[in-house]
Amino acid sequence: MRPAVLTSPAMPEPAAPKRRWGRRIGLVLGALVLVLGVLVARYVLPTATGYVAKLACSGHFVAGQSHARLRDEDFSRMGYVSFSFDEGARRARATVLGLAAREAVYRDGIGCALVVDADPEQTQAAGVSVPRAAASDAPWPAGDGPDPRPDPPGLDRAALEAALDAAFEEPDPDSMRWTRAVAVVWNGRLVAERYAEGTSADAPHLGWSMTKSVTNAIVGTLVMRGRSMSTPQPPCRSGPTTNGPRSPSTR
C-alpha cells in the first residue's frame, strides 16, 4: 500500500493591492488634516484672538470691566481663547494655547486698537486729548443731576418698572442675557434707568453699531437746528485713503 500523503489547502495570497489603497487613503486624509490645520492656524485662529484682544482691551480699559466678567460673559462661548492684561502698558493680549497671538492697545481719547504689523508704542502714541463738558447738576441731557419733575402725563410707572425687571431677568440658563444697563428716554427726558452690579451710569459701554447710529442722529439733529459741525482741524491724524496704501495699524 502506498503511504497516505497529507496536503494542506493553498493559502490565499496577501491582499497587497488593498493594503496599498489603504495607505494611500491614509496619506491623503493625513495631508488634508495637515492643510486644514495650517489654514486654521493661519486664518481662523488670528481672527478669534484678534476679536478677543480688541474687545477685551475695550471692555477693560474703556468700560472698566474685570477679567473675570469679560471671560464669563462677553467671551463665554470662546473659552479656547485665553487673554491677559498689561495694566501698566494698558494693553490686552490673546492667544490659543500660545498660538496666533494678537495684541490691542489703549489710546487716550480714542479707545483701543488692534495692532497688526505695526509698532504698539507708535500706535499707542496716536491718542488725542478730548475736551470734556463741565460737570452739571442739571437733569439729563444738560447734566447728570436728578430730575425733580413729576412723571410726564401718560407714563405708566408700574409698567415701566416691570419692563426693567424683565430686562434683567435670566429665564433661560442656557441663553444668558447679561444685561448691564437700560436707559429709557421719552420726549427728551430720562424717565428710567437701571444698572447691573459692577456698572453704573458713569461707565462707558460698548455700543457697537448703535453708537454710530446715535451719533449720526445727534449730528443730524444739530445740523437741522442750524448748528455748525465744522472743526478747525481733524480731531485725529488722517486715516488711510482709498487710493493709497493702508497704514499697518489700521488693518
- Cis bond upstream, residue 141 (ω within 30): yes
Provide mean pLDDT across the span 72-101. 94
Give me the pLDDT at residue 184, please. Answer: 94
CA angle 231, 202, 181 (to 5 degrees): 110
Q: Which residues contact residue 168 at a Cβ distance below 8 angstroms, ignoring those fewer than 6 apart?
A: 177, 179, 182, 194, 196
Q: Which residue has the higher pLDDT, 145 or 53?
A: 53
Residue 184, exposed/middle/buried by CB under 10 A (0-12, 13-18, 19+)?
Answer: middle
Give me the pLDDT at residue 114, please. Answer: 94
Take residue 9 and report the three cell numbers written for it: 489547502
* Weakest mean pLDDT among 20-34, 41-55, 75-89, 114-128: 20-34
Rounded to 5 degrees, what are φ and ψ at 210?
Answer: -60, -35
* pLDDT at residue 235 is higher than 90: no
Predicted confidence band of residue 249 (pLDDT cuts 50, 70, 90): very low
Mean predicted lDDT score pLDDT of the chain: 83
Dump pLDDT digits (tens) for 180-212.
Answer: 999 999 888 999 999 999 888 888 888 888 888
* pLDDT at residue 240 is higher than 90: no
* Nearest residue to 150 via CA among 189, 197, 93, 181: 189
Distance CA 84, CA 71 (A): 10
Give me the pLDDT at residue 2, please. Answer: 57
Burial 185-196 (b: 16+ CB within 10 A, else e): eeeebbbbebbe
* pLDDT at residue 34 is higher than 90: no
Q: Which residue has the higher pLDDT, 10 or 222?
A: 222
Provide mean pLDDT across the span 33-47. 75
pTM for the model: 0.71
pLDDT over 70, % of the chain: 81
